Chain A
Amino acid sequence: MPDNTLSARDLSSGYGERMIFQGLNLQIPAGRITAIVGANACGKSTLLRTMSRLIAPKAGQVLLDGKSIHAMSPRHLARTLGLLPQSPIAPEGITVADLVGRGRHPHQGFLSRWTARDDQAVAEALQATGTQDLAERAVDELSGGQRQRVWIAMALAQQTDLLLLDEPTTYLDICHQVEVLDLLVDLNRARATTVVMVLHDLNLAARYADHLVAMRAGSIDAVGPPDQVLTRDMVRRVFGLDSMVISDPASGRPLMLPLGRHGVAQPAARSA
C-alpha cells in the first residue's frame, strides 16, 4: 500500500541556463493540505512543475514513495499525481464535458476505451464543482470563474491520490474561492487526498492548510504549521511588507493584516 509521500531532495531546477532554485529540500506531508506562498516570480510554479515531472530537474530528485518520479512512466505517474497548471489552455470550441473527460486520459489504456467508471468520475467532478449545468457549453464562452471551476473539475476527474494545484482560486470571487477550498478539504477528508496548492491569499492559506511553505527567491524561507509560519517577520522577509498578524477569531489561525502607506491608522514607513 503506497503512502503517497512526495519529497524533493537537493532539487535544482530552472529554464535553459537560468537556475530558479538550487539544492531545495521539501517534504510534503501525506494525506494533508499544504499551501505554498511567496511573492510573484519566486519560483512557486517552477517548483510545482518540477515536482510533477513537467520539467526535468538540473540536479537532485523528486521522490514519490521513495522512487524517483522521473524514472516512472508519465501515464503511471498521472494516475497517482495530478497537477493543475497556473494558466491551462482550452482548445477552441471544446465543451466542458469533453474537457473534464480528458482528466480520465491516464486511466484509459492504449486500447481500452471509455468506460462507465470514466462517466462516473466526470459526473462526480462536475457535481463537486457545481459545473454540471455547464456540461454542454463551450469552455471559451464561460466566465473566468466558471472556467476555473471547470479546470478544477478536470483535475478532480483524474482521481489522483496527490493533487497539485497552481493558484486554483485565481479568477474566483470570494464565495467561489471558499467553495473551492472547502471542496479540497472535503476531498482530503473523504479520500485522504494529499493536496498541495499555491495560494496568494495568506489568510486563506493559513485557514485551510495544515502545512504552510513560504518561498522567497528560489529558496524555502519557512515551513511548518500556519501559526508558526505566518508571522510578521516572515511577511516582511518574503513579501517586503509591513503587517500585523492577529488571531483569526473565526478559526484561531493567524490572520495577517497588511500595513501599506495609506488607509491605516499607523501607516508603514516608506521603506519597511
Chain B
Amino acid sequence: MTLQTTLTRLQTARHRRRSAHARAVAGLSAALALAFLITLCVGQSVTPPGDVLRVLAGIDVPGASFTVGQLRLPRVVLAVLSGLSFGLGGAAFQVMLRNPLASPDIIGINAGASAAAVFAIVTLSLGAPWVAIMAVVAGLAVAAAIFGLSFGDGISGGRLILVGIGVSAMLDSAIAFLLAQAPAWDLQQAMRWLTGSLNGATLDQALWPALALATCGSLLIGQRRGLEMLRLGEDTAAALGTDVARTRLIVILTAVGIIAVATAITGPIAFVAFLSGPIAARIVGPRGSVLIPAALVGALLVLAGDFAGQFLLPGRYPVGVVTGAIGAPYLIFLIIRANKTGAT
C-alpha cells in the first residue's frame, strides 16, 4: 500500500470516528431534551406540551402553572443537574483510574459528602451555601484519605478500591448514626442521605449545582484530552507530554466539587456515577472522550429513575432506590469479572 492510500484511509476513518462521536452526543442530547419535556408533561395527570412550554415561558396557565411550574419543574431541573454532575464526575474518576470500580460512589466520596450534608443540615441546621461547602470539603477529605491509605500500590491499584469500599461503608453507618440522633427522625430524610431522593425539590436549590457545573464542570471537561492520554497509563501519558500530576489534581478537585455539591442537595443518588461512564462508553464506543456523553447519560438515568420511582412502579420510591436496583447487578457483574481475570 502506498503512503497516499494509507493517508486517504486514515483521513476517512478519522472523519468517520469524529462524526460518530458527534452523532452520539447529539443523539443523547436530543434524548435528554425529550425526556425533560416528557417528564414535565406527564405525572398524576397529563399536561399538553403546549401548556408546558407556555409555563416555561413564564405565562400563567390555570391548572398547569402549579403542577408544572411548582411541582414538576424543580424536580426535573434538579434531576438533570445532579445527573450531569454524577455522570461527569463518575466517568472522570473511572477514566483517570482506568477502572469502572473506581467510581466516586463506590469509593466513598459520595458517602463522605452525604455524611457532611447530614451533619450540616440535621445536626447543625446550617443553610445551603454552608451545606455545599461542607460537602465539598468532606468529599475532598475522603479523596485525600483514600489516595493516602492506598499509596504505594500505584494510584490505580486494587487497594484503592478496597480501601474506598471500606471507607464508604463506614461513612454510611455514620450517616445512619447522625440521622438516628436527629430530633425529627423521618424516613424521607434517611432515604435521601443514604440513597438519594428528589422529594421536596425547590427551584432555588438548583443554583449551587448549576454554579458548580458551570465552573468545576467546565474545568473538568477542559481536561478531557489529558484524561484520554492517561488511559495509556502514566508512563506513556507523561512520555507524550501530559502533565500527569497536574491533570490528576484538577480532575480530582473538580470532579469531587460537582459530585459533592449535587450530593448536598439530592443525596448520593445510588450508582449514577458508577453506571453513566460504562453506559456512555457502550454508546459512543472507543472513539474519544466519554465525559460529555457520560454526563448526558447521568442526567437521563436520574430523570428516568425518578419518573419510574414516582409513576411507573407500584408505590412511590425515591430515585436512588430505582437507580440502585439497576446499578447493583452491574456492580456484582464487574466484581465477578474482576475476580475471574484476577484484576480489580
Contact = CB atoms under 8 A, between A and B. Distances in A.
Contacts of A133: 1
Contact of B3 (A53, A106, A124): A124
Interface in A57-97: 73-79, 82-85, 88-95, 97
A120 B242 CA distance: 22
Contact of B236 (A16, A85, A98): A85
Contacts of A95: 13, 17, 286
A105 to B, nearest CB: 5
Nearest to B238: A54
Q: How large is the interface on B (under 10, 10 to 19, 20 to 34, 35 or more residues)?
A: 20 to 34
Given A88-B232, A123-B6, A123-B7, A103 B286 contact: no
A127 interface: yes
Interface string A120-144: 1011101100001101101000000
A52 interface: yes
A158 B17 contact: no
Most A-side CB within 10 Å, residue of B9, B228, B232, B243: B232
Most B-side CB within 10 Å, residue of A101, A114, A123: A123
B7 A98 contact: no
B96 to A, nearest CB: 12
Interface residues of A, number: 45
B204 interface: no
A135 B236 contact: no
B10 A135 contact: yes
Contacts of A77: 241
B313 interface: no
Contacts of B242: 74, 105
B231 interface: yes
A93 B228 CA distance: 13
A93 B286 contact: yes
B277 to A, nearest CB: 12
Contact of A97 (B14, B225, B238): B14
A106 B1 contact: no
A49 interface: yes
Interface in B286-337: 286-287
A235 B286 CA distance: 46
Contact of B239 (A54, A91, A93, A97): A54
Contacts of B206: none
Interface in B1-31: 1, 3, 6-7, 9-11, 13-14, 17
Given A74-B238, A75-B241, A97 B13 contact: yes
Given A79-B241, A85-B236, A88-B232, A135 B6 contact: yes
Given A74-B242, A89-B98, A94-B286, A114 B14 contact: yes
B233 interface: yes
Given A93-B285, A105-B240, A88 B235 contact: yes
B160 interface: no
A119 interface: yes
B286 A98 contact: yes
A90 B235 CA distance: 12
Nearest to A104: B240
B229 interface: yes
A138 B241 contact: no
B152 interface: yes
Contacts of B7: 119-120, 123
A245 to B, nearest CB: 34
Nearest to A101: B14
Interface of B: 1, 3, 6-7, 9-11, 13-14, 17, 98, 152, 225, 228-229, 231-236, 238-243, 285-287
Interface of A: 16, 49, 52-54, 73-79, 82-85, 88-95, 97-98, 101-103, 105-106, 114, 119-120, 122-124, 126-127, 132-133, 135-136, 138, 158
Given A53-B238, A126-B10, 16 more contacts: A54-B234, A73-B243, A78-B239, A84-B239, A85-B233, A88-B232, A88-B233, A89-B232, A94-B231, A94-B286, A97-B13, A102-B229, A102-B240, A105-B240, A133-B1, A158-B240
